[in-house]
């Protein structure tokens, strides 16, 4: 049974300012979980070039995934949620998936939810769709 659906659109240029500005390190720690930071190389400054553009687009898609989840949950960003506890990771196949930790994971489990994620980026924008489903009763 569908519990909620959410989508979000993130301007890559806007996120780039947050990732390269004077408070970038604090922003990264507050927003991205450990697995995301490692996969995207966000603990180091973004180098110039094509690989940096792809990393930036992926970081924007991950940010949109967090917002899409919060919309699907119907709560917005408030307790018990923390952005860094909502991670967009890639499965072995390359498909995106959610990984939850902390109080966010507790909330998802308590509501018996399965989260599904779809990501895309093109033309300076990143997009995420999230569905939250509960088992049929």
How far is residue 89's CA from residue 74's CA, in Å, rounded to a whole number?
22
Helix axes 50-73, 12-20, angle to 10 degrees: 100
Q: Give the chain's mean pLDDT.
A: 93
Bridge partners (DSSP) of residue 32 are none
Q: Comparing 51 with 95, which gets the higher pLDDT?
A: 95
Nearest of 85, 96, 99 to residue 32 by alpha carbon: 85
Identify the pLDDT of residue 51.
73
- Please write the tens of the pLDDT for every residue from 13-67: 999 999 988 999 999 999 999 999 999 988 877 666 667 888 999 999 999 999 9
How far is residue 21's CA from residue 59's CA, in Å, rounded to a whole number?
15
The token pair at 94 is 């390359």
DSSP 8-state assignment for residue 77: S
């Amino acid at each position: 049974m569908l519990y909620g659906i959410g989508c979000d659109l993130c301007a890559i240029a806007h996120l780039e300012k947050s990732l390269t500005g004077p408070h970038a390190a604090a922003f990264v720690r507050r927003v991205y979980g450990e697995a995301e930071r490692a996969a995207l190389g966000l603990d180091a400054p973004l180098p110039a070039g094509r690989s940096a553009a792809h990393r930036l687009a992926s970081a924007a898609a991950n940010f949109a995934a967090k917002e899409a989840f919060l919309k699907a949950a119907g709560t917005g960003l408030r307790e018990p949620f923390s952005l860094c506890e909502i991670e967009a990771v890639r499965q072995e196949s390359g498909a995106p998936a959610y990984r939850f930790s902390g109080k966010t994971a507790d909330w998802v489990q308590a509501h018996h939810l399965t989260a599904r994620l779809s990501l895309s980026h093109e033309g300076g924008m990143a997009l995420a769709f999230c569905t939250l489903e509960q088992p049929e009763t």
